[in-house]
Amino acid sequence: MDSIVITGGAALNGTIPIAGAKNACLTLMPATLLMHEPLTLTNAPRLSDIRTMTTLLQSLGTEVMALQGGQVLTLSSHDLTSHRADYDIVRKMRASILVLGPLLARDGQAVVSLPGGCAIGARPVDLHLYALGAMGADLDLREGYVHAKAPLGGLRGAVIDFPIVSVGATENALMAATLARGTTVIRNAAREPEIVDLAQCLRKMGAQIIGEGSDTITIEGVTALHGATHPVVVDRIELGTYMLAPAFTGGQVECLGGRLDLVTAFADTLAETGVEISQTKSGVLVRHSGQAVRAVNVTTAPFPGFPTDLQAQIMALLCTADGVSVLEERIFENRFMHAPELLRMGAQINVQGGTATVTGVKQLKGAPVMATDLRASVSLILAGLAAQGETVVSRVYHLDRGYERVEQKLRACGAHIERISER
């Protein structure tokens, strides 16, 4: 099992290329199931989750070809051989549930295992089932699998009024609705850039969609979709993560390909800590003196609010802030698992339910720590950059699900970081 070793204290200066968005790519890949012609995705990230989705789609009969070192994916589902997504694959990744809507819309049947992923709290699939049920699907949950059948003649357009915002359920409903008979209206829809990216890709495939990026999306069903080529939107979570890096260490980093419009709430909060941020022609430039940042309060919220996927990273930063910060997690109830690991490094954090109070200390100290989930893992690496001495982060397989080549990207900017493989 690999570990990452960081020796803190080095300022960061240089450029970091930002990859395509994991969460967008994982949503775009199942869209191939909606049609017989190929879908080509450019700017794909090279991550273990992408490999897992590839394996899942291949198990259904999709042909997947990786080109340009994995940054271009061509997917063809012209001859599906199965409609069953097995537990052995699905358990590894929450996004696996996104094959349900497309399979149901295309062929009128699907059997999909309940998904896995990071253990950051309850993430039920009830909203996914609610949406597909509204479109006429017959759904039966038994022995850990969703057994789904479309009515005779296929899914029907419907008004889907989500009681709470769900990114995954919006994505499943959006894909299924492209082939449903009639008009589907999704209310209280998620507004994330990944939703916008999916809608734009589906439109290239011939779907009729308006309203993405707002809380109401309208889809007019079509009889068939066709092949397309689409670039995966830049990863706003990777962008936010690397924007934080010089705030820990001092220095100046340009995040190539970054767009501030994808991370407005996060960038505003980071600027409050005293970090200088600007949009350039080639990306986002972040500059910091290396002095203690100012304490800020953070409340996570659906897009366009502060992303829950950047909460762990900014908590790590606030561990050395001047003053007391309060972080309120409103998306996932179990997303402070990184706090005990930061305590090992000398942080002062008090967690009460969904609220964490962080009292800044002068200096973190290197320590052996353990990654508990994807975003927690990178928060510990960031903390290690600023800590005195050596930090060893174990269980970094979590990291590889969402960040490609972290060590190389940070080392190119002057970080003292390496991966140790233990076989």
Neighbours of 217 (CB within 10 A): 25
Q: Among residues 339, 288, 289, which one has the least CA distance to residue 315?
A: 339
- Catalytic pick among 118, 201, 319, 413: 118
Q: Is 61 exposed, middle or buried (0-12, 13-18, 19+ CB in 10 A)?
A: middle
Chain-centroid distance, C-alpha 355:
22
Q: Note if 255 is an active site residue.
A: no
Residues contacting 266, CB < 8 A, separation 6+:
240, 243, 306, 307, 310, 314
Q: Among residues 37, 168, 159, which one has the least CA distance to residue 106?
A: 37
- Residue 337 and residue 353: Cα distance in Å, rounded? 12
How many residues belong to the chain? 423
Q: Which residue, chain included where needed, has tokens 């942080």?
A: 347
How far is the first Cα of the chain from the last one, in angstroms, to the nearest whole number? 6
- Residue 131 and residue 104: Cα distance in Å, rounded? 12
> Cα dihedral sign for 307, 312, 314, 315?
positive
> Token digits for 21?
């968005």
> Quick one: angle between helices 236-249 and 264-272, nearest 10?
10
Active-site residue set: 118
